[in-house]
């Protein structure tokens, strides 16, 4: 027997044991003697849905008086209420994984949104999120931190970093602080010339274990890959030890400007990359800071470019150039000699390197600032079609005052995104391509699929109209939902599952004997993995529909084993030994298992995509069960049988 087979089975058992700890019911976890392990495991339990664990139903009345006064039609009122429901869903389930039941209703001339929340999120924080005003706001990217941002950041930084300066255990305290928002702790190493110029001497010349409270410095970062924002950074450094090491170092050539002044015939000190000919622009723009290009050639000259540092007042990349006209005698030899003088060379030297630890605090800068353009200037949004492609788009319309403000906002944000916030949540950030006048604009999804574009457009229109109308919501009902029916169903489902598995196990052992025992072992591993994943994942919620999906996937797991065993039996009947029959049987059964499970996964995808919350729960659990069953049928069953392949004749 190969050692690899033993190791694979050992790893499977270790995996099953480890996951089994998480899959255990809470009452058994409570009996673990080690407090640390027990408390860790108790944090992970299966999240039960409202139908199984109970929870709360909140009834919110939507105030549509403003929309009615403005002459909104019944369809438009329904769209606003749908938008309110979607905003509430995102507030408590931004990932769409909790299978919340949120419904809209109309009775006695009133519109309501019913929100059912499970016991695990039934708290004051959730109700506070739901109760927030639903409004519409358009925001633009910030270009610097506000005074309020900087003041708040400074206060927080001084509080955190003062603790470290006086800390008796810098590393331990720094790691704890790193868990706070905005705090970064890093162990670093640097040669002297790699330290920040303004702090180089102060850091390098300190004794080991010295803690330095650095001054504030401004750093730059980009938001959404576009807007450059200036923010303050505060940091504390603990100086470590120096050690001499080999260093791969770049040895700079002669000063580019000195050589250029000596030999160049060009008249321009520097050139903007954007102004270069197209065939040279790409090569020049690819240069890193202070990089020097290879020798380049045009029809009339030879060139060498050097990228210049980007100046704060002029963000366009620029290059310095050394140019030798081809009409110059020995032009190629001359440009090659110049290149050798100015290019960098890689050398290895012995040099001291400093080890140190740094804790940095960067102010929590929101990427967006208010434009003053909000729901009071917004008239309506509606779904339209792009006349060229037929793809759904969203048309928006502002009133007369809003049109003027929108023109100003769009003009200063050409080429940048303009964020749309509904109820404080970012729902879209379309790019402004040009100044928009007249108060009308179109928003496109960039989606070429007609169905997806239509779905996106309807959702965005509902959000925009719900936010624009400023429809207040009022809590009218707060009812605790008991899980008596769900709990009873859960108990019966578990009882039925245990009985079914027991009968199934007896049948498999009775019919397939030794092979049946292996199948039962694989099913046990399957059950452990399934429950462990449900316990470890905060996003998966088990409902009655989900239980149905799991039970169905168990049947598919058994089906996979039956396909394998029947193939193996066929090969044994043909006179092959068990080892050969096992290999051939698995290979031939795999295509059938793969195709049937793949088609089932496609069905799950369709059910999830178009189904309601309950159907989605069924689809997710069935898909998860199928994937686990494929793992156990192929990996667990196969490796378990290979332990005995040379012992069974």
* 517 in a structural domain: yes
pLDDT attached to residue 153: 67
* 461 in a structural domain: no
395, 326: one domain: no
* 130 in a structural domain: yes
Please give the structure tokens belonging to residue 560. Answer: 């996979």
- Report CA Rg, the chain: 34
CB atoms within 10 A of CB 180: 10
Pairing outcome for strands 227-251 and 217-223 = antiparallel
Q: Contact at 8 Å (CB) between 453 and 423?
A: no
Q: Round to whole Å and give the CA distance between 20 and 23.
A: 5
Q: Of 384, 306, 343, 375, which Cα lies nearest the Cα of 67? A: 375
* 100 in a structural domain: yes
DSSP assigned state of 33: S
Q: Contact at 8 Å (CB) between 621 and 550?
A: yes
3 state DSSP class of 581: helix
Where does a domain end: 327, 362, 397?
362
- CA dist 360 to 118, 180, 233, 234, Å? 39, 11, 7, 6
* 637 in a structural domain: yes
Full domain range(s) for residue 399? 368-451
202, 218: one domain: yes
Query: Domain holding 115: CATH number?
Result: 3.30.70.3400
Q: What is the pLDDT of residues 39-98, one digit of tens each?
A: 788 777 777 766 677 778 888 888 888 778 777 788 888 888 888 887 777 777 765 555
Q: Contact at 8 Å (CB) between 502 and 70?
A: no
* 520 in a structural domain: yes
22, 59: one domain: no
3 state DSSP class of 447: coil
Q: Contact at 8 Å (CB) between 87 and 422?
A: yes
Q: Of 637, 632, 607, which Cα lies nearest the Cα of 622? A: 607
* 141 in a structural domain: no
229, 288: one domain: no
Q: Interhelix angle for 484-512 vs 514-536, to 10°?
A: 150
497, 631: one domain: yes
Query: Domain holding 422: CATH number?
Result: 3.30.1360.200
Please give the structure tokens belonging to residue 47. Answer: 């999240």
* Residue ranges in the chain whose pLDDT is less than 70: 1-2, 49-51, 94-100, 120, 143-146, 149-150, 153, 179-182, 214-232, 264-269, 279, 285-286, 288-290, 309-316, 362-367, 469-471, 482-490, 538-539, 612-614, 645-649
Where does a domain end: 442, 459, 481?
481
Q: What is the pLDDT of residues 588-620, one digit of tens each?
A: 888 888 888 888 889 888 887 777 666 777 888
440, 382: one domain: yes
Taken as a whole, the chain contains a residue count of: 649
Please give the structure tokens belonging to residue 205. Answer: 């010349």
pLDDT attached to residue 469: 66
Where does a domain end: 316, 333, 362?
362
Q: Contact at 8 Å (CB) between 616 and 542?
A: no
Q: Round to whole Å and give the CA distance between 36 and 33.
A: 9
The verdict on pTM exceeding 0.85 is no
566, 623: one domain: yes
pLDDT attached to residue 645: 67
pLDDT attached to residue 226: 46
pLDDT attached to residue 222: 43
* 205 in a structural domain: yes
DSSP assigned state of 120: G
635, 575: one domain: yes
522, 613: one domain: yes
79, 219: one domain: no
Please give the structure tokens belonging to residue 496. Answer: 């039925």
610, 519: one domain: yes
Edge-first strand order for the sheet with 301-307 is 271-272, 318-325, 301-307, 296-297
495, 551: one domain: yes
The count of domains in the chain is 5
Q: Round to whole Å and give the CA distance between 298 and 286.
A: 18
Q: Round to whole Å and give the CA distance between 636 and 625.
A: 15
pLDDT attached to residue 470: 66
3 state DSSP class of 58: strand
């Amino acid at each position: 027997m190969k050692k690899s087979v033993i190791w694979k089975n050992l790893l499977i058992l270790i995996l099953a044991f480890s996951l089994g700890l998480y899959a255990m019911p809470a009452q058994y976890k409570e009996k673990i003697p080690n407090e640390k392990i027990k408390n860790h495991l108790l944090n992970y339990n299966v999240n039960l849905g409202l139908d199984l664990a109970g929870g709360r139903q909140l009834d919110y009345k939507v105030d549509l008086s403003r929309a009615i006064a403005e002459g909104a039609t019944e369809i438009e009122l329904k769209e606003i209420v749908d938008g309110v429901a979607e905003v509430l869903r995102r507030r408590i389930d931004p990932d769409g994984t909790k299978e919340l039941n949120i419904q809209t209703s109309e009775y006695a001339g009133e519109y309501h949104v019913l929100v059912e929340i499970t016991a695990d999120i039934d708290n004051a924080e959730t109700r506070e999120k739901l109760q927030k005003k639903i409004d519409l706001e358009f925001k633009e990217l910030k270009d610097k931190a506000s005074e309020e941002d900087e003041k708040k950041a400074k206060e927080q930084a001084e509080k955190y970093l003062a603790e470290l300066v006086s800390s008796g255990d810098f590393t331990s305290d720094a790691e704890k602080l790193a868990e706070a928002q905005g705090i970064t702790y890093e162990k670093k190493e640097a040669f002297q010339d790699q330290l920040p110029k303004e702090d180089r001497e102060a850091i390098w010349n300190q004794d080991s274990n010295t803690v330095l409270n650095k001054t504030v410095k401004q750093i730059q970062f980009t938001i959404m890959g576009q807007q450059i924002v200036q923010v303050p950074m505060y940091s504390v450094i603990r100086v470590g030890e120096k050690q001499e090491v080999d260093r791969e170092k770049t040895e700079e050539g002669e000063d580019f400007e000195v050589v250029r002044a000596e030999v160049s015939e060009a008249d321009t000190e520097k050139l903007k990359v954007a102004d270069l000919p197209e065939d040279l622009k790409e090569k020049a723009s690819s240069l890193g800071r202070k990089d020097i290009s290879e020798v380049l050639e045009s029809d009339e000259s030879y060139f060498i470019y050097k990228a210049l540092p980007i100046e704060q007042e002029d963000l366009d990349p620029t290059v310095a150039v050394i140019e030798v006209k081809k009409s110059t005698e020995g032009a190629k030899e001359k440009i090659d000699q110049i290149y050798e003088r100015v290019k960098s060379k890689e050398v290895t030297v012995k040099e001291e390197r400093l080890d140190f630890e740094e804790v940095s605090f960067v102010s929590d800068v929101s990427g967006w600032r208010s434009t003053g353009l909000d729901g009071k200037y917004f008239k309506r949004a509606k779904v339209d079609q792009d006349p060229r492609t037929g793809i759904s788009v969203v048309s928006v319309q502002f009133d007369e005052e809003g049109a003027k403000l929108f023109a100003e906002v769009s003009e200063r944000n050409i080429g940048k995104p303009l964020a749309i916030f509904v109820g404080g949540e970012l729902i879209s950030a379309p790019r402004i391509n040009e100044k928009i006048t007249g108060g009308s604009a179109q928003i496109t999804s960039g989606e070429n699929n007609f169905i997806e574009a239509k779905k996106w457009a309807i959702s965005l229109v509902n959000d925009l109209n719900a936010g624009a109308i400023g429809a207040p919501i009022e809590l009218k009902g707060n009812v605790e939902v008991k899980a008596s029916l769900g709990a009873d169903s859960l108990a019966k489902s578990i009882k039925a599952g245990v009985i079914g598995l027991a009968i199934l196990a007896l049948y498999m052992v009775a019919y397939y004997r030794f092979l049946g025992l292996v199948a039962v072992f694989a099913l046990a591993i399957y059950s452990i993995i399934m429950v462990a994943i449900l316990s470890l994942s905060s996003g998966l919620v088990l409902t009655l529909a989900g239980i149905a999906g799991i039970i169905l996937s168990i049947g598919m797991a058994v089906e996979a084993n039956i396909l394998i065993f029947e193939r193996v039996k066929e090969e044994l009947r043909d006179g092959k030994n068990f080892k050969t029959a096992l290999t051939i049987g698995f290979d031939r059964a795999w295509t059938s298992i793969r195709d049937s499970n793949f088609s089932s996964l496609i069905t799950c995808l369709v059910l999830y995509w178009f189904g309601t919350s309950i159907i989605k729960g069924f689809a997710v659990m069935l898909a998860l069960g199928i994937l686990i069953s494929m793992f156990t049928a192929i990996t667990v069953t196969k490796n378990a049988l290979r332990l005995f392949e040379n012992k069974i004749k």
